[in-house]
Amino acid sequence: MIDSFPVIGNIVDLLSKLPGVGEKTALKYSLWLVEHKEDSKLLSSYLNDLGNKVKLCRKCRNLTLNDDGLCDICKDSSRDGSTVCVVENIENFFAIESSSIYNGMYYILGSSVSSYGVDIHNLGLDFLINRIFQENVREVILVISSTIEGDLITQYIKERLKNSKVDITRIAYGIPVGVNVNFIDRTTLVEAFKSRRAV
């Protein structure tokens, strides 16, 4: 049936790729958009901006609209450049940034970290290590799940920094072993951040 309406079929195919959205839900969304023309046009223009204007910062992988490819945090000279907080994804970055407990810089590992495994070579860790040395970073804070993947990333960073004076700390408090940081609430994440420990 849907094959006779390729316009809908194409949208269903795309929406089905979103995390947690199956074909049935994708069809429901598509038909809702057909009935809500104004929202549909608005979404189209927002998606156009998303595709054409939003980039990942070339230094920390945060979102940016800036032409030089740097995000507002990396460009902000009032922030503490001696500390880098390594987070798994942009959601964790938002959680820490909105709590105002931290005024340093970031590095976002991105979607290569998941509960299904980690591709250590796709995380940009070599780039991060170079940045730590070049910018004379004194503390690296790891906001990383206490999972096998999280431990692997932590060990890799520790090994690469073992002959340096850089302090490496990792969130701990209230995060049970094996729990992904993405599944804990924001308050717990902030408490865990405050009570980080040396690794």
Contact positions vs Zn ion (CB under 5 A) = 57, 59-60, 62, 71, 74
Q: How far is the CB of 97 from Zn ion (least distance, A)?
A: 12
Hey, how many other C-beta atoms are within 10 angstroms of the C-beta on 101?
A: 11
Phi, psi of 86 (to 5 degrees): -95, 115
Cβ proximity to Zn ion, 59 vs 196, nearer residue: 59
Coil, strand or helix at 86? strand
Q: Shortest gap between Cβ of 79 and Zn ion (angstroms)?
A: 10
The alpha carbon of 163 is separated from its chain's Cα centroid by a whole number of angstroms, namely 28
> Would you say 57 or 129 has its CB closer to Zn ion?
57
Distance CA 26, CA 14 (A): 8
Query: Would you say 62 or 169 has its CB closer to Zn ion?
Result: 62
Shortest spacing between CB 182 and Zn ion, in angstroms: 21
> What whole-number distance in Å separates Cα of residue 51 and Cα of residue 80?
31
Q: 175, 192 in Cβ contact below 8 A?
A: yes
Record the tokens describing residue 191, joined without a space: 């408490």
Q: Which is nearer to Zn ion, 30 or 102 (CB)?
A: 102
Considering the complex, state which of residue 62 and residue 147 has its C-beta at the smaller distance from Zn ion: 62
To Zn ion, the closest distance from the beta carbon of 20 in angstroms equals 28
User: Smallest gap, in angstroms, from Cβ of residue 85 to Zn ion?
Assistant: 12
Of the candidates 186, 100, 189, 111, the one whose C-alpha atom is nearest the C-alpha of residue 146 is 189
